[in-house]
Structure 1
Amino acid sequence: MNMSSLSIVDIFCGGGGFSCGFKRGGFKILVAIDNDPACAKTYKSNFPEATVVVEDIRNINGNDIIHLAKQKPLIVIGSPPCEPFTGANPNRMKDPIDRLYKDHMGQLTIEYIRIVGELKPKIFIMENVPAIIEGDLKEALIGEFKSIGYPNIYFNFLKAEDFGTPSHRLRVFISNIPLRPTALKERITVKEALRDLPPPQFSNIPNHEFVPLSDKKARKIAKIKHGKAMYFYQGYSRRLPNYIRLNPDDIAPTVLGSSRFIHPFEDRLLTVREQARLMGYSDHHIFYGGRDQQFNQVGESVPPPLSFAIAEFIKNIIVY
């Protein structure tokens, strides 16, 4: 198989983190779909070659995608919303199966599977939080994929920090092939990730603007030590930290859409660009929408270094 046939469709594309690594690896992005206009603007600006569709996936079928792409894709990737499954959601449904079949957003995972069944790609990869296989969910997902013609399903648990991302992130990549990307020996620390960024007031780097703070918050931030949090919020079963002052000599904690981090050396919050650095984004990747939308796009994405490692693994088994 030659390189020109390495084609991708990205469902629930967000700001494009999952696609980033595949594009860097030489894959061609044909079509990307998301129902959020800010995500679509971000995606289109960074992947001008792709057809970007702003639409609810429920209103799209495989023939629509093939018509837009002018071909069947080799690979379908995508990250259905994790909110129905994650323990960070205090309102998730008690029964794991209900999270997939009764939760309105959880049903979008079934829509992803439907699209895969209609497109019949050689490879599909669906990313989500590990909690998507809690209880009976794993067997339910295996059954759903089997019903569309994929009898062998693999649950690949990958840590982003093992592949050059300066933050911790354990996610499951559900696919019809085993994924064994090559891990790096060294980890990138917060200090290394941020070191060549000028202070926001002396910078014209996109998405690198101060995050406004009230005087009260600014006074609180000044007292927070490395690795400590200013706030805690209640998740499904435990309290979770936010406004953590980053330890410069370690990787960052998991970056979420709701995450705000305190700079390791300055008494301020990280900018969107600094947070994107913690996810391994290049400074050329521009985020659009309001500031909170930009933070969401960063925190809800697959880190580009991890997606690149996956892309390289797939390319090697397909091309060679």
Structure 2
Amino acid sequence: MYKVIDLFCGCGGFARGFMEERFEILLGIDIDINSLNTYSRNIKGAITWKKDLREVHSKDIINVVGSSPDVIIGSPPCEPFTPVNYKRMKNELDRLYLDEIGGLTLHFIRIVGDLKPKIFVMENVPQIIEGELKWALKWEFNRVGYKRVYFNILKAEDSQTPSIRRRIFISNIPIKIKREGRRINVEEALKGLPNPEGIIDYPNHEITPLTEKKIKKIAKLRWGDALILFKGADGKIYRNMIRLHPKRLAPTVMGGSRFIHPYENRLLTVREQARLMGFPDTHIFYGPREVQYNQIGEAVPPTLSRTIAKHIKKVLDEGMVDV
């Protein structure tokens, strides 16, 4: 059984796909206690650490898990790189080397260099390789011993995730996935859930209360319309509180994303939003409700991570890794 360490593990979306492919998840590290509570209750057998990665020493990891892992996965914070963040630094390299949060990416690379896994996979927004950033990241991985670095851009919807999600997976192996089956739309994704009105015994499926004023505004929204518009760092207008079109994929689910039900004048429940990201209903989220929404939007969809895990298992089984 191949062994995995998960850095910036969040609520366990990335790890879940590997767990489902029978990888052994040894350790998940994150600074957020609510995410770790979700992780520990869903990723069976994994040790969890509430730590700032800047303060984590690789020898401490070895002391706990016993040996270097076969695979290191992780999703460093994307806020310094995403154009949705209007506070993003203008200079590309400053986002990595001067931004305090952006610099956490370098600590992912440090631990990869120390532990020397056969394969590493680091997920982020595609803008993490804008301009000179791509060559800076390549140099950083080269510096810690990985001469081959691949910038794999994958679409979650190709793995039957019911929402649009284009992300980069930086690795020492090429990761190419074929489109699996047909795409699943919003209506199909939400099918079979009980009505959240009233008292129901279904985890993460409670309605978020809204003011009468907001409900009246929502009632006027057609499919695809948004209640909130805002400007990002790139000058583009971004949208939030979108009424979903039932026959289409959902837009990209982000940490701050909230969606309107296609037919009802309410927000999606946490469980409905989790379905848009490919989480099974058995994956239970913990913490305040707003935090649960954020956990989902910041995760790697398990449907996509499982596809990646299948590919990595094949590469490891065939001994095709050349660091």
SS of equivalent residue, structure 1 residue 313: helix
Shift of 1:204: 1.5
Provide Cα deviations, 1:193-222, integer angstroms capped at 9, x if missing partner: 001111112532111000110111111000
CA separation in 1, counterparts of 2:101 and 2:24? 29
CA separation in 1, counterparts of 2:157 and 2:202? 25
Q: In the alignment, which of 2, 9, 14 is matched to residue 13 of structure 1?
A: 9
CA separation in 2, counterparts of 1:86 and 1:295? 19
Q: In the alignment, which of 264, 268, 280 is matched to residue 270 of structure 1?
A: 268
Structure 2 counterpart of 1:193: 189
1:85 aligns to 2:84 (yes or no): no
CA separation in 1, counterparts of 2:54 and 2:222? 46
CA separation in 2, counterparts of 1:80 and 1:215? 39
5+ long unaligned stretches in structure 1: none
Shift of 1:43: 0.5
Provide Cα deviations, 1:134-164, integer angstroms capped at 9, x if missing partner: 1100000000000000011000000000101
Provide Cα deviations, 1:13-57, integer angstroms capped at 9, x if missing partner: 000000010000110000000000101111011123001000100
Structure 2 counterpart of 1:231: 228
SS of equivalent residue, structure 2 residue 61: helix
Q: In the alignment, which of 273, 282, 286 is matched to residue 288 of structure 1?
A: 286
TM-score of the pair, normalised by structure 1: 0.97
SS of equivalent residue, structure 2 residue 197: helix
- Contact between 2:82 and 2:88, CA under 8 Å: does it hold in 1? yes
Shift of 1:308: 0.3
- Contact between 1:182 and 1:309, CA under 8 Å: does it hold in 2? no
- Contact between 1:9 and 1:29, CA under 8 Å: does it hold in 2? yes
- Contact between 1:87 and 1:235, CA under 8 Å: does it hold in 2? yes
Counting only pairs closer than 5 Å after superposition, residues 1-320 of structure 1 correspond to structure 2 as: 4=1, 6-201=2-197, 203-236=200-233, 237-320=235-318
TM-score of the pair, normalised by structure 2: 0.96
Detail structure 1 runs of 4+ shifted over 4 Å in the superposition: none
Shift of 1:182: 3.1
CA separation in 2, counterparts of 1:93 and 1:283? 38
CA separation in 1, counterparts of 2:178 and 2:313? 13
Amino acid at match of 2:142: K
Shift of 1:318: 1.4
CA separation in 2, counterparts of 1:219 and 1:120? 56
Shift of 1:71: 1.9
Amino acid at match of 2:138: I
RMSD: 0.8
Task: State the percentage of identical aligned residues.
Answer: 53
CA separation in 2, counterparts of 1:204 and 1:221? 27
